[in-house]
């Protein structure tokens, strides 16, 4: 069975500092995709970054980067130069070959950015 684990219910970071949000996954699929989403208090889920299991390099999108360690089955999100607007829930998600049409989501990490 596929599973996503986010072990940090909440995280604090000082403005302008970097922060790492943890995500581990479990799958037997040889091919899969990993996604990170941001959900502000308004409710909308905002897509941040994608990493394919066969991608050789870690994905980057602006201030977001994904620290992908395939052997450890981890896909941590790194946010550099944190801003107050980064305060939100962050969800890690995975989609595998045998998951049918399902993308499974982790429980999320709430990030608080302090001024």
Partner 1 sequence: ETGVTQTPRHLVMGMTNKKSLKCEQHLGHNAMYWYKQSAKKPLELMFVYSLEERVENNSVPSRFSPECPNSSHLFLHLHTLQPEDSALYLCASSQDARGVSVQETQYFGPGTRLLVL
Instruction: List residues near partner 1 by CB under 8 A.
Output: 29, 31-33, 35, 37, 42-47, 50, 52-53, 91, 95-97, 100-108
11: which 2 tokens?
Answer: 């995280």
**Secondary structure letter of residue 53 according to DSSP:** T
Least distance in Å: CB of 51 to partner 1? 9
Least distance in Å: CB of 113 to partner 1? 22
Q: DSSP strand E in 6-73: where? A: 10-14, 19-21, 24-26, 32-39, 46-52, 60-61, 64-69
Given the complex with partner 1, which of 42 and 115 has the nearer CB atom? 42
Least distance in Å: CB of 91 to partner 1? 7
3-state secondary structure (DSSP) of residue 73: coil
Given the complex with partner 1, which of 102 and 114 has the nearer CB atom? 102
Given the complex with partner 1, which of 12 and 47 has the nearer CB atom? 47
107: which 2 tokens?
Answer: 């429980």
């Amino acid at each position: 069975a596929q599973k996503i684990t986010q072990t940090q219910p909440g995280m604090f970071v000082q403005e302008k500092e970097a922060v790492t949000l943890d995500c581990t996954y479990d799958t037997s699929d040889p091919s899969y995709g990993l996604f990170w989403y941001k959900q502000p208090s308004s409710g909308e889920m905002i897509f941040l970054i994608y990493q394919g299991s066969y991608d050789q390099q870690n994905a980057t999108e602006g201030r977001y980067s994904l620290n992908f360690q395939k052997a450890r089955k981890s896909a941590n999100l790194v946010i550099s130069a944190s801003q107050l607007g980064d305060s939100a829930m962050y969800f890690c998600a995975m989609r595998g070959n045998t998951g049918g049409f399902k993308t499974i989501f982790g429980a999320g990490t709430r990030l608080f950015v302090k001024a």
